[in-house]
Amino acid sequence: MNIMNVGLNTLYDIGSNYAVKLNEKEMLVYEKDETGKSKNPHAKKLKEDEEKKAEETSKESTSEELSPDEERLVKELQARDSEVKAHEAAHQAAGGGMTGAASYTYQQGPDGKMYAIGGEVSISMSSGSTPQETIANARQIAAAAMAAGDPSPQDYAVASSARVMEMKAQQQLSKQQQEEVLGKEAYDSQNKNSVNDNQPLDISA
């Protein structure tokens, strides 16, 4: 008797509800296979697609059934979402490498979607290795804090801290410059005295 082996792929390519086997006359036939449904890998995907489609249809029907007040709230949330994200994007653009990633606080609207209603961007208040670098950093921090069109109280607080940092760095820079001037004058004075001490003396007979 000849034996024909049929692979699983071939089996399920024929159809999810059919199985292939040899009948008594050694002829290839197919018959309904009730167990094929659970074994068919495509059946699961088909079911998931149907469930996803049903969920999307449900969401669409929900959005269509929003009351006028709910629709107004959705529009307000959409406007707030755009405003918040633009605000944080302005901070990031002005801060350059001194700002971190933005994080948001979300609220779910009547339509089931999530909208950003608040956000923040971290910023490094690091000083530089020199007063000049610290001044440059402070100015960039202040610019980043005030970059948005409608700065928040926290934005003003950060900008104020940056100005204090800049002021201290300016004082330090002035002190260094003053010390350099005084040091140069002291060096010049000392050098002049040294030259005078080394002048030859006239010896008269």
Helix axis angle for 68-95 and 131-145, nearest 10°, is 170
pLDDT at 68 over 50: yes
pLDDT in tens, 116-170: 999 999 988 888 889 999 999 999 999 999 998 889 999 999 999 999 999 999 9
* Domain regions of the chain by residue span: 64-190
**Tokens read off for 41:** 């890998």
pLDDT in tens, 126-135: 888 899 999 9
Q: Is the pTM here over 0.75, yes or no? A: no
147 Cβ neighbours under 8 A, 6+ residues apart: 90, 91, 93, 94, 95
Q: Which of 22-36, 43-57, 142-156 shows the lowest mean pLDDT across its residues?
A: 22-36
